[in-house]
């Protein structure tokens, strides 16, 4: 008659074969079977408010949800000229334009997602980058970005701020995403010349203009003629994504798509671009004409 421990050891081995090796959930540390996916337990995964349903075809803002919450103020699903009902736009994207071709997000910036983003960003829970990147990779695959984009580029942090924090969470996400999608991540491609805090001196429009202008491309050759996947943790006003996309396009990138883990829904978007100025950069103006994007100098 076999000893009980022998049975349990055999059972355990069998479970290892069937379920794969155990690994802790990146959020709550509960043991889960590791299949190489996002490595989150069912409970933590189901706590993530996924951005599902009708979404803006440009910025991926969940249109119906915003309509419910804002009494319709944030919604304009009616198609603009030449647009079908299958490519709806939020009001911000209908009235304003972006430098990026399209943005996509995994989840809404609330509840468990707000906690995850805060833990990665402010509490150095670096182990969260991989599961977040896994979900972002799934989003990229759904949107065809995994095939379309050539390189991943994280939104940069000001060097002083990065020195204080010790890491750039967008770069961690970009590196993890790059490994999952077999896409090169270029953490040094973009640079930020000014810290966000200094923008308090500007009014709202000035803040957006300033936010757009603080980004530059440090190595144009690395992105020239390439389709870039811009990576960040949260999409809020879109000014940061536009600033980075503008710098990448000016460096010669063919297109810029944005993927973020979360999209802010509480924030009333200020997507409006200032009108193109007369003395604008000729290269930007040419690009603006070809892509329909309103650019500022
Ligand atoms: Zn968990
Ligand atoms: Zn939109």
In angstroms, what is the C-alpha Rg of the chain? Answer: 21
Closest CA to 99 of 201, 251, 222, 279: 251
Tokens of 112: 């468990």
Rounded distance from Cα 66 to ligand 1 centre (Å): 29
Rounded distance from Cα 107 to ligand 2 centre (Å): 15
Rounded distance from Cα 4 to ligand 2 centre (Å): 61
DSSP states of 141-176 = HHTTHHHH-SEEEEPP--HHHHHHHSS-HHHHHHHH
Helix orientation angle between 111-122 and 129-142, rounded to the nearest 10 degrees? 120
DSSP states of 48-114 = S-B--SSB-TTT--BHHHHHHHHTTTTEE-S--TT--TTS-EEHHHHHS--SSSEEEEEEESSHHHH
pLDDT truncated to tens, each residue of the chain (297 aa)? 444 444 466 765 666 666 667 889 999 999 888 777 888 999 999 999 998 888 888 998 877 544 444 444 344 444 444 445 677 888 788 888 899 999 999 999 999 999 999 999 999 999 999 999 999 999 999 999 999 999 999 999 999 999 999 999 999 999 999 999 999 999 999 999 976 555 455 666 777 788 888 999 999 999 999 999 999 999 988 899 999 999 999 999 999 999 999 998 754 443 333 333 333 333 443 443 334 343 333
**CATH code given to domain 49-291:** 3.40.50.2020
Rounded distance from Cα 154 to ligand 2 centre (Å): 21
State how far the Cα of 63 lies from the Cα of 96, in Å rounded to an integer.
Answer: 16
Name the residue ranges covered by the structural domains of the chain.
Answer: 1-47, 49-291
């Amino acid at each position: 008659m076999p000893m009980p421990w022998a049975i349990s050891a055999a059972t355990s081995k069998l479970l290892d074969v069937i379920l794969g090796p155990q690994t802790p959930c990146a959020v709550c540390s509960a043991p889960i079977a590791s299949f190489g996916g996002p490595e989150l337990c069912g409970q933590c995964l189901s706590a993530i408010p996924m951005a599902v349903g009708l979404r803006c075809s440009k910025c991926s803002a969940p249109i119906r949800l915003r309509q419910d919450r804002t009494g319709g103020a944030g919604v304009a699903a009616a198609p603009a000229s030449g647009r079908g009902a299958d490519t709806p736009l939020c009001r911000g994207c209908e009235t304003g334009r972006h430098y990026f071709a399209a943005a996509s997000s995994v989840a809404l910036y609330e509840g468990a997602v707000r906690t995850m983003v805060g833990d990665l960003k402010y509490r150095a829970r670096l182990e969260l980058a991989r599961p977040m990147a896994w979900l972002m990779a799934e989003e990229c695959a759904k949107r065809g970005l995994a095939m379309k984009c050539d390189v991943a580029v994280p939104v940069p942090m000001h060097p002083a701020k990065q020195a204080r924090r010790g890491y750039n969470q967008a770069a961690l996400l970009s590196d993890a995403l790059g490994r999952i999608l077999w896409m090169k991540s270029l953490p040094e491609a973009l640079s930020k010349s000014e810290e966000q805090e200094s923008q308090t001196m500007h009014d709202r429009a000035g803040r957006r203009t300033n936010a757009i202008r603080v980004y530059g491309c440090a190595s144009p050759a690395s992105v020239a003629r390439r389709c870039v996947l811009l990576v960040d943790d949260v999409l809020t006003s879109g000014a940061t994504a536009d600033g980075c996309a503008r710098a990448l396009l000016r460096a010669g990138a063919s297109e810029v798509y944005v993927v973020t883990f979360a999209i802010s829904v509480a924030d009333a978007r200020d997507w409006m671009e200032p009108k193109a100025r007369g003395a604008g950069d000729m290269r930007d103006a040419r690009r603006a004409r070809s892509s329909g994007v309103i650019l500022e100098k």
